[in-house]
Amino acid sequence: MFEMAKGYRQAPGKGGDKKRTDGKRVAGQQDFGVPGSGGSNPHSNLQDLDYVPESVGGWKKQPRGPHVHDRHITGMTIGKSVPLVDSNWKITGQAQYGDDIRLPGELIGKILRSPHHYAKIRSIDVSAAEAMDGVFAVATGQDSVNKFGVLPVTKDEHAMAQDKVRHVGDLVACVCAIDEATAIEAMNAISVDYEVLPSIHDMEDGLKDSENPIHDRGKYHIGESNVQKRVFQQFGDLDGMNKAPYVHESDWETDGLHHGFTEP
């Protein structure tokens, strides 16, 4: 976020020393208005039809294809250093980030988190926090009881902890107040009574049966274990393997990889 009066110029361009301060944004070799600044037209609509291709309603001749057109306007970028359009603002301390912005009527939220790896929540007392001046709302897991998850068998997630906390930092309660100091004070005024349970820090221990399984998945639960689900798969010629003169069996370990690097 930037102040409107300072103006902003996109690189590369040939705008000279002139800077736009009216918030308008144009295409091609022209100055741009301040990003997110409001102004007369803050929605990045193209203004200068001389630099808009004919294919999308502009006047700019586009003799070949869109990529060729873009290269004609901006030049080749492969193998070149491209300066960040907002780098000067950042390195001089003039850029504003989300944490710097305060809006009229804005409220501040804080979250109370678990200090324990694994524990039952015996009770939560939010009365002291609710009674404080400047506190607008206090919520716990009982205010959001719906479960969610990717698959029916994994619908064991909650917005905030309800009967148990399952890791250090698990969300227990949240407050909404007029400013950050009040929100922190209200968060610290919430009293939680825990019954600490044995925590699991080893994969082999996690596969064993437990009197206190981490999750209760109802009809999907497997005995008294912490196993989320079991999947059995068969591939290849099993009969041929059984008849083979030699079969080698072993265990292999591989590094964990994310299954979809381009996911948002």
pLDDT at 87: 82
**Model pTM score:** 0.55
CA distance 6 to 28: 21
Is the Cα torsion angle 162, 168, 170, 172 positive or negative in sign? positive
Which sign does the torsion angle of CA 185, 107, 36, 44 carry? Answer: positive
User: Which pair of structure tokens corresponds to residue 194?
Assistant: 């825990």
CB 34 within 8 A of CB 19: no
Q: From CA 28, how far away is CA 15, in angstroms rounded?
A: 10
Instruction: List average pLDDT for each run of 10 residues in the chain, which is 264 residues long.
Output: 36 42 41 42 51 70 59 67 78 82 88 96 95 95 85 78 93 95 96 93 84 75 75 78 87 79 60
Residue 160 and residue 113 in contact, taking contact as beta carbons nearer than 8 Å: no
Bridge partner residues of 137 (DSSP): 176
Residue 116 CA to residue 112 CA, distance in Å, equals 12
- pLDDT value of position 254: 82
Nearest to 212 by CA among 117, 118, 149, 114: 118
| Alpha-carbon gap, residue 126 to 142, rounded angstroms | 12
Q: Residue 171's beta-bridge partner residues? A: 113
Instruction: Give backbone dihedrals phi and psi of 157, rounded to 5 degrees, phi first.
Output: -100, 150
**Which pLDDT score, from 0 to 100, does residue 71 have?**
60
CB 121 within 8 A of CB 161: yes
- Least Cα distance to 103 among 192, 179, 49 occurs for 179
Please confirm whether the linkage preceding 152 is cis (ω < 30° from 0). Answer: no
Give me the domains of the chain, ranges plus CATH numbers.
1-101 (no CATH), 108-196 (3.90.1170.50)
